[in-house]
Amino acid sequence: MLLADDTGLEVDALDGAPGVRTARFAGEHATDADNRKKMLREISGKERTCRFRTVALLRFPDGRELIAEGVCEGTLSLEEIGERGFGYDPLFIATDGDGRTFAQMSVEEKHALSHRGKAFRALAEML
């Protein structure tokens, strides 16, 4: 069996970018900090609505596949806030949350709201 997932950040003001290039937004060898800095520059003065989208796939030895998607709507903060998580977590504020960034939440709080958590819960329901 094979389990795989991929996640992208879709920013409305950037026409859905960075999308599939989320981890490489600032370049092939960019760090998470480089990506966040570029994001803050790119959306300065623009609408900050966005979403994380995760697609999870489970492939069985017989070739059968299960595919699930999880989406978490949100906005990007004006600055980095919080110490936890990775990637864009210090910028992302979930619409269904309490106003904190993912980087301010405990692991349990983040997974309850997150795109990845939603995708894997949906995949589990298919089993």
Q: Looking at the annotation, which residues are catalytic?
A: 6
Q: Hey, which bits of the chain come out as E strands? A: 2-11, 18-19, 49-59, 65-76, 92-94
Q: Which of 21, 49, 17, 33 is nearest to 90 (CA)?
A: 33
Copy the structure tokens of residue 28: 């092939």
